[in-house]
Each structure stands twice: as C-alpha cells, then as structure tokens.
Amino acid sequence: MSDSPGFPDSAARDRDEAESASAFAHPAVAPDRTAAYGDHPDQVIDFYAPRDGRTAAPLVVLLHGGAWRAPYDRAHVSPLADFLARRGFAVASVEYRRGGDGDPAPGGDPVAGRWPETLDDVAAALDAVPTLAARELPEADVRRIVVTGHSAGGHLALWAAARHVLPEGSPWHLPAPPPLRGVVALAPIADFATAVELGVCGGAVTQLLGGGGESGDPDDRTAQADPAALLPTGIATAIVHGEDDIVVPPAVSEAYVDAAAKSGETAGLTLLGDVGHFPLIDPSADACAIVAEEITQLAW
C-alpha cells in the first residue's frame, strides 16, 4: 500500500507482505445502505446495521486509510465494518476525496491527499453523520458515537475529534467539542513531524500539506492538520498500534501520546506485540478483536 520508512530487514518486509495479503484477501462486504453527504461521487457514507438485530446500537464512524491516495478507498475496510456490525455496532464507513489526479509523486505513487478537499470532506461527513444515520440506520444510537480510523484514516479520526481546537478562522472550526464518546485510532499518522522524519508512506504527509500544487503556507497547514498540534481535545482517545509496524512505526503514535501528556491530557496507547500494520483491520487476526474491545470500552 505504501513505502516503508527506513530500511526494514527482509523478514520484516516478508511479514508485512503476508499481513497485508491476509487483510486484503477478504471479499468486500456490501453495505446495507449508502447515503451522500455532498455532490461529489466520493462524498458518500456506507451504513452497516448491527447483525444481532439490536436497536439503539452505538455508532462507529470508520475512516479508511491508504495514505490519503485515490487507489485506496473504503472497500478495503468493508470487512472490518462487517466485523464490527457482527459485534453489535452500527457502522458508518466514510468515503472522502483523496489525491491521485495529475502527475505522480516521486517514486511513482499517486500524490497523497487533496488540500483542502480531503479535510473538507471529513468535516462535512462527520457533521452529516447524525442526521444521515437517523434516516438511514434507525438501529443506531447517534448519542453514542465513536470515531475510528486506520493509518491515514487514524489521522483523520484524531483530527475530526479536534476541530474545536482549531482557530475560529479555520473553515473546519467547531465552536464546541463534537459529541463523541471517543476516538480509537489504529496505527495512525498522528504526529506529522515524526512521520516526516521517518518518511512514512513515501512522504505522504509532505504531499498532503503541499496540496497537489495549490499554493499555501505549509506551516499554517501543519498547524491546522497535525493532530499533535491540536491538543488537548478533551475527547477520550485510545490508540492501538502494532509493535512490528514498518508502515507507520509505533514511534509516530508514541510522539502523539507524549504531546498529549505535555498538553495535560492522557491518550491511551496499546502496543501489540508481534503485530504489524494490517492485522488491526483484518477480521481474521486476533488484533482486530482487541480493536473491537477498545471501541466497546468507549461506546458502552
């Protein structure tokens, strides 16, 4: 899915490839309903009803990863959405605009992210979720929302929970904290400085902030988009990260947790031994059950 930072040894690369193959081997699971939150084809949300037939189920808003690049859409986390639905959750899986139009980035990958459209869409989707879920998924309890996301989607989950920390002049600013039970971020790109230093996802952070050729101040963009710069949030936050992750090394999450502590806030960090990047979204992996437990602890 992306370039690994540094120079992991061949055993680590082989393991990452095997874990990726396992996570992506599951067939896509069709949603129960899909609703648009805007006019662009990518501005849609897939809804999954709880499989046990319960009503007033906590709602998990799921943001997929893929380094904010266009080839990776919500289909690859649909098995995770179904897994959570089978655990008794209602699920809203969000699509959003990603980078990929025009010339590729150095190394041949599509450019990561669109500025400001990627963040525009996540903000709009989160604002629309309560109304759309009430209409499309009456089984969902929109008073109990937990946001989760993997990798670049983990970044977006943390960012979505921090919009009230943005300056009032920001187009994404919220006047009060969003009504969330909490955030569970899975191997998130949570601290931009550390991610850039480690070359995470082939320079995806730098490309996101570069905005695909649109002019802008990268420092100002960092201040508005870096979760580690938007603390404290006052929102319960849990991070799950594999100790053997070579795609987004755990040092990225550790830096965020340190930044949270310096701001006077505690962010939980669960490091899973013998786990890499992809088992967190793989329903056949034990790590995925741990993810569901973390969500359960915040939702109920």
Percent of the chain with pLDDT strictly greater than 90: 88
**Structure token pair of residue 237:** 């936050």
User: What integer pLDDT is reported at residue 300 of this predicted model?
Assistant: 85
User: What integer pLDDT is reported at residue 108 of this predicted model?
Assistant: 79
Query: In this predicted model, what pLDDT tens digit does every residue of 102-135 receive, in sequence order?
Result: 667 777 788 999 999 999 999 999 999 999 999 9
Helix H or strand E encompassing 154: helix 152-160
Q: With b meaning 16 or more CB within 10 Å and e meaning fewer, what string describes 45-77?
A: bbbbbbeeeeeebbbbbbbbbbbbbbebbbbbb
**Structure token pair of residue 109:** 């990958």
First to last CA, the chain: 34
pLDDT at 2 > cutoff 80: no
**Cβ–Cβ under 8 Å, residues 97 and 42:** yes
pTM above 0.85, yes or no: yes
Mean pLDDT over residues 49-56, rounded?
92
Confidence of residue 216 (pLDDT cuts 50, 70, 90): low
User: What integer pLDDT is reported at residue 211 of this predicted model?
Assistant: 46
**Cβ–Cβ under 8 Å, residues 275 and 245:** yes
Query: In this predicted model, what pLDDT tens digit does every residue of 231-269 receive, in sequence order?
Result: 999 999 999 999 999 999 999 999 999 999 999 999 999
Mean pLDDT over residues 72-97, rounded?
98
Confidence of residue 214 (pLDDT cuts 50, 70, 90): very low
Q: What is the DSSP letter of 272?
A: E
User: Could you give the CA distance from residue 27 to residue 75 in angstroms, rounded to a whole number?
Assistant: 9
Cis peptide upstream of residue 232 (ω within 30 degrees of 0):
yes
Query: In this predicted model, what pLDDT tens digit does every residue of 264-286 receive, in sequence order?
Result: 999 999 999 999 999 999 999 99
- Mean pLDDT (the chain) is 94
Percent of the chain with pLDDT strictly greater than 70: 95
User: What integer pLDDT is reported at residue 107 of this predicted model?
Assistant: 75
User: Could you give the CA distance from residue 282 to residue 105 in angstroms, rounded to a whole number?
Assistant: 29
- Report the candidate in 284, 283, 287 with the shortest Cα–Cα distance to residue 274: 287
User: What integer pLDDT is reported at residue 212 of this predicted model?
Assistant: 41
Confidence of residue 15 (pLDDT cuts 50, 70, 90): very high
User: What integer pLDDT is reported at residue 106 of this predicted model?
Assistant: 75
pLDDT at 75 > cutoff 90: yes
pLDDT at 8 > cutoff 80: no
Confidence of residue 7 (pLDDT cuts 50, 70, 90): low
